[in-house]
Each structure stands twice: as structure tokens, then as C-alpha cells.
């Protein structure tokens, strides 16, 4: 079955009770049992809900995985994966990650004596060199937030397999439409479904996808035991969102390519980070492991904070807001917004400076978006 068909049909058969074509929102916390020890597969919504099951099946199919598990946020999904670790375990992570993920690692899980080592995500060998007898998990984001760097998933997965480590890839930026980490050797894929999967900036959610029976059992246990689960309506919103994922991703990319070209040729801009540009240092790798380059761009302006302020406050279509992946275009300043909790030293090393702006290119008209950035830059 093709991607577009899976997005609309997998897990979404007509409702068995009523024939409703669209999966109903099973807005219930509990289920009436037929008798002691007898129920229809659901007993309490934290443990399972039919609307959530539909979404979990569809997401598994889109990532080419056997199992999907949904969460109340991307960080809820990440935390539930990390719950598999024990005190003394170590994680090797790529150094450019969403700021909230780094905050969760450094300020929450490190309190439980789990050690996080950050390595240059563009250098697969760096992961290998950082392995110790206590390493259990490798955590990657690719393309990264906000620098749009690329990690070679296949190369790192070989290292993970050779050393008996779990490889987890946050696939939020690419979405399964452009990248399938499980096919490239990852054990677990994590998503913030808040972003492209939901696609309309009206829901917060997360997901874990795997083909491993063992990892599925473990994360499913923490899904129920920790309880970061999505409500039925939120599950339904993401399920509705993914039906149009393919058409949205095509337009996000088409717009982003043209916006990136425009920015790359603008005299007030130093550097544009977009894996679809030939100038991107890992353009060839991106071409190899992704089927498209997505809709996220970051760029560094020539000048100080006053120019940055003028641009992010000067756009009329791009809204100054956190988050990404919705149909509407957003503009943000990672240092003071999404990446405020990343240690300054780590930010400086990566180039997450005061001059860096991140945009999530939406699916509006291409010329409108370019003209909007142009008027903000030329003010």
C-alpha cells in the first residue's frame, strides 16, 4: 500500500458498532465489563482507547514499524523511552537537539544518575568513541533542531548493533513522509506529533514507533505506568492531520526550497541552514537517507540583535511563535525561545547564536512568504 493510502486507511476501518466512516472520538475514561475478567479489549483509557489505537496503527504503518504508541507530548514520548534505563546507565546523544529534550536529559533524568554524553552528530565515529561498558542508548535527532544538521542513521545503527545498544531517532523534522529511520536501522522512532503529523498547530502529542516486540512491551508498560497518554480528542486530531501529511509535506518542501534560495542570496544573511541547498555540508547524505528535505530552515543574519528583532517582529505572515510543522509559517529565535535551556557553551559550539533565526515554512503561497521575509529584511 502506498504512503498516502496508509495515512488515510490503516487502523481506520469503518466503526464496527455504527459503520461511521471516520474513526469516532471515543470520549470515555472507562469501559463497562461484560462480566468479571471479561471485556472487549479496553478497560481504562490511560491503558488504551480505540481512537488512540487507530492512530497508533496508522503511525506504525507510516514509519514502516510493527507497533505505535502515542503520548500526550513529544517529551512525554521521550521520557517514556528513557524510563527503560536504570541508574548508572549512559546515553550518547547527538549534540544538536531540541532544547526541551536537552532540558529533560540534563535537568530531570541526570538526577536519577543517568549520564548523557553529547557528541558531534555529524561524525558517526564520535558515537563509537564515546561508548563505555555502561552505554545503553544512542539518541539522535536528524535533521536537527535548530541547525538542520544530518546524522548518518545507517552508519550509527551499525555501531549501535555491534555494541548491543538501542538506537532511538527523533524523526520530527523530516516526518515519515521524507525519512524512515527504522528502514535505516534505528530501533525506535520518536515524534512530536504536535508538529508535521498533527500539522495544524492545534494539538500537542507524541509517538514512539518500533518493530521490536521487546522494546514495544517495555515502552507500552511505561506508557501506562507513567501515564503521559493523549486524550481521545487529541488522538483524533492527529489522526485527522496525518490523512493530509503527504500533500502538506510536498508543499512545505516546495516552499522551503524557494525560501532557502531567496535567503541564501540576500545580502543581509551570512549563512542558511537547509539540507536541500547544495551548499549544505551534508547535502549528499541528506539526499541519500531522505526522500525530501522538509520545511525547516535556520539562518544567521549579518548584524546584531537589533536586526534580528526587526526581522522576527517585522514579518506579517510568519508568526513569531514557538513550535513548527503547522500549515502556517512561523518564525523564532532559538536562543531566547526554543533553546533557552541549552548550556551556552553547547550553543556557541553549534552556532546557536543571537544572530540565528529559525523558520517553519508553511503551505501558504510561495511568493507571499518570500515577499514577507523580504519586506522584514529590507525595512
Ligand X SMILES: Cc1ncc(COP(=O)(O)O)c(C=O)c1O
Which residues are marked as active site?
46, 98, 170, 195
Cβ atoms of 256 and 361 closer than 8 Å = yes
Which residue number, 177 or 262, has a Cβ lying nearer to ligand X?
177
Min separation Cβ 191 and ligand X, Å: 8
In the region spanning residues 205 to 224, those forming contacts with ligand X, defined by CB under 6 A, are 206
Counting residues that bind ligand X (by CB under 6 A) gives: 16
> HSE on the CB side for 5, CA within 13 Å?
2
**CB within 8 Å of 39: residues ≥ 6 apart:** 31, 32, 33
Min separation Cβ 265 and ligand X, Å: 28
Which residue number, 146 or 292, has a Cβ lying nearer to ligand X?
146
Q: Which of 170, 187, 234, 300 binds ligand X (CB under 6 A)?
A: 170
Exposed/middle/buried for residue 283 (C-beta within 10 Å: 0-12, 13-18, 19+): middle
Q: Which of 49, 51, 142, 172 binds ligand X (CB under 6 A)?
A: 172
Note whether 204 binds ligand X by CB under 6 A: yes
Output the CA torsion sign for 135, 138, 144, 145.
Answer: negative
Note whether 100 binds ligand X by CB under 6 A: yes
* DSSP codes of every residue in 348-363: HHHT--TTEEEEE--S
Note whether 167 binds ligand X by CB under 6 A: no
Which residue number, 192 or 315, has a Cβ lying nearer to ligand X?
192
Query: Phi/psi of residue 142, each to 5°?
Result: -155, 125
Min separation Cβ 154 and ligand X, Å: 20
Min separation Cβ 75 and ligand X, Å: 4
The torsion region of residue 64 among left (phi > 0), alpha (psi -120 to 50) and beta comes to left
User: Order of strands, edge to edge, in the sheet holding 188-192?
Assistant: 67-71, 206-210, 188-192, 166-170, 135-141, 90-94, 115-119
Note whether 74 binds ligand X by CB under 6 A: yes
Which DSSP symbol is given to 62? H
In the region spanning residues 216 to 275, those forming contacts with ligand X, defined by CB under 6 A, are none
In the region spanning residues 320 to 379, those forming contacts with ligand X, defined by CB under 6 A, are 323
Min separation Cβ 198 and ligand X, Å: 9
Q: Which of 56, 95, 141, 300 binds ligand X (CB under 6 A)?
A: 141
Sole window of 167-175, 211-219, 255-263, 346-354 interacting with ligand X (rule: CB under 6 A)? 167-175
H helices then E strands: how many in the chain?
14, 12
Q: Which of 23, 49, 157, 194 binds ligand X (CB under 6 A)?
A: 194
For the chain, the residue count is 379
Sole window of 71-79, 123-131, 155-163, 255-263 interacting with ligand X (rule: CB under 6 A)? 71-79
DSSP reduced 3-state for 119: strand
Q: Which of 53, 142, 151, 192 binds ligand X (CB under 6 A)?
A: 192
Task: Please tell me the distance from the alpha carbon of residue 247 to that of residue 267, in angstroms, as a whole number.
Answer: 33
What is the number of other CB atoms lying within 10 angstroms of the CB of residue 353?
14
Which residue number, 190 or 373, has a Cβ lying nearer to ligand X?
190
Task: Please tell me the distance from the alpha carbon of residue 93 to that of residue 10, in angstroms, as a whole number.
Answer: 33
Binding site for ligand X (CB under 6 A): 73-75, 98, 100-101, 141, 145, 170, 172-173, 192, 194, 204, 206, 323
Amino acid at each position: 500500500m502506498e504512503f498516502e493510502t496508509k495515512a488515510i486507511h490503516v487502523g481506520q476501518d469503518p466503526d464496527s458498532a455504527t459503520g461511521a466512516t471516520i474513526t469516532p472520538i471515543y470520549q470515555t475514561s472507562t469501559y463497562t465489563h461484560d462480566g468479571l475478567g471479561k471485556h472487549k479489549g479496553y478497560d481504562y483509557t490511560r491503558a488504551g482507547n480505540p481512537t488512540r489505537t487507530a492512530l497508533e496503527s496508522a503511525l506504525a504503518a507510516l514509519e514502516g514499524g510493527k507497533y505505535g504508541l502515542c503520548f500526550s507530548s513529544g517529551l512525554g514520548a521521550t521520557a517514556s523511552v528513557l524510563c527503560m534505563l536504570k541508574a548508572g546507565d549512559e546515553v550518547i546523544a547527538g549534540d544538536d537537539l531540541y532544547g526541551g529534550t536537552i532540558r529533560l536529559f540534563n535537568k530531570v533524568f541526570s538526577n536519577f544518575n543517568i549520564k548523557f554524553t553529547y557528541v558531534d552528530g555529524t561524525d558517526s565515529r564520535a558515537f563509537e568513541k564515546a561508548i563505555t561498558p555502561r552505554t545503553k542508548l544512542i539518541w539522535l535527532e536528524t535533521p536537527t533542531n535548530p541547525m538542520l544538521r544530518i546524522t548518518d542513521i545507517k552508519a550509527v545503527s551499525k555501531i549501535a548493533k555491534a555494541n548491543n545498544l538501542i538506537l532511538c531517532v527523533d524523526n520530527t523534522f523530516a516526518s515519515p513522509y521524507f525519512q524512515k529511520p527504522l528502514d535505516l536501522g534505528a530501533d525506535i522512532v520518536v515524534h512530536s506529533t504536535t508538529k508535521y503529523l498533527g500539522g495544524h498547530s492545534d494539538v500537542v502529542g507524541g509517538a514512539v514507533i518500533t518493530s521490536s516486540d521487546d522494546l514495544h512491551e517495555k515502552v507500552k508498560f511505561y506508557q501506562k505506568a507513567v501515564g503521559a497518554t493523549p486524550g481521545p480528542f487529541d488522538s483524533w486530531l492527529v489522526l485527522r492531520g496525518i490523512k493530509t501529511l503527504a500533500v502538506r509535506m510536498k508543499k512545505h518542501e516546495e516552499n522551503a526550497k524557494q525560501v532557502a534560495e531567496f535567503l541564501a542570496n540576500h545580502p543581509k544573511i551570512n549563512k542558511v541552514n537547509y539540507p536541500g541547498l547544495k551548499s549544505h555540508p551534508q547535502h549528499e547524505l541528506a539526499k541519500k537517507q531522505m526522500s525530501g528535505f522538509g520545511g525547516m530552515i535556520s539562518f544567521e543574519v549579518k548584524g546584531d540583535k537589533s536586526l534580528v528583532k526587526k526581522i522576527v517582529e517585522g514579518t506579517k505572515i510568519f508568526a513569531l511563535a514557538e513550535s513548527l510543522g503547522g500549515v502556517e509559517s512561523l518564525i523564532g529565535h532559538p536562543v531566547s525561545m526554543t533553546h533557552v535551556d541549552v548550556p551556552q557553551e553547547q550553543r556557541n559550539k553549534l552556532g546557536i547564536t543571537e544572530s540565528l533565526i529559525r523558520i517553519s515554512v508553511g503551505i501558504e503561497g510561495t511568493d507571499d512568504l518570500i515577499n514577507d521575509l523580504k519586506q522584514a529584511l529590507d525595512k
